[in-house]
Amino acid sequence: MHSLFSILVLHGPNLNLLGQREPGIYGCLSLADINRLLTEAANKLEVNISVTQSNHEGILVDTIHASVGQHQGILINAGAYTHTSVALRDAIAGVNLPTVEVHLSNIYRREEFRHHSYIAPVAIGQISGFGAQSYLLGLHALVNYLREQNSQKETPA
| Contact residues: ligand DQA, CB under 6 A | 14, 77, 79-80, 82, 103-105, 107, 114
Q: How far is the CB of 93 from ligand DQA (least distance, A)?
A: 19
Residue 103 CB: number of other CB atoms within 10 A?
Answer: 26
- Asked whether 7 and 50 are in contact (CB, 8 A), the reply is yes
Based on CB atoms, which residue is closest to ligand DQA, 3 or 20? 20
d(C-alpha 6, C-alpha 46), whole Å: 10
Q: How far is the CB of 96 from ligand DQA (least distance, A)?
A: 23
- Asked whether 116 and 83 are in contact (CB, 8 A), the reply is yes
Q: How far is the CB of 15 from ligand DQA (least distance, A)?
A: 6
Based on CB atoms, which residue is closest to ligand DQA, 68 or 113? 113
| Set 11, 26, 71, 135: catalytic member | 26
| Set 11, 81, 103, 118: catalytic member | 103
Based on CB atoms, which residue is closest to ligand DQA, 114 or 147? 114
Q: Is 26 a catalytic residue?
A: yes
Task: Identify which of 130, 7, 143 has the alpha carbon closest to the alpha carbon of residue 76.
Answer: 7
Residues in the chain: 157
User: Looking at this protein, which amino acid is placed at residue 134?
Assistant: S
Pairing of strands 6-11, 73-77: parallel
Q: Is 103 a catalytic residue?
A: yes
d(C-alpha 4, C-alpha 105), whole Å: 31
Based on CB atoms, which residue is closest to ligand DQA, 72 or 77? 77
Q: How far is the CB of 144 from ligand DQA (least distance, A)?
A: 22
Just list the catalytic residues. 26, 103
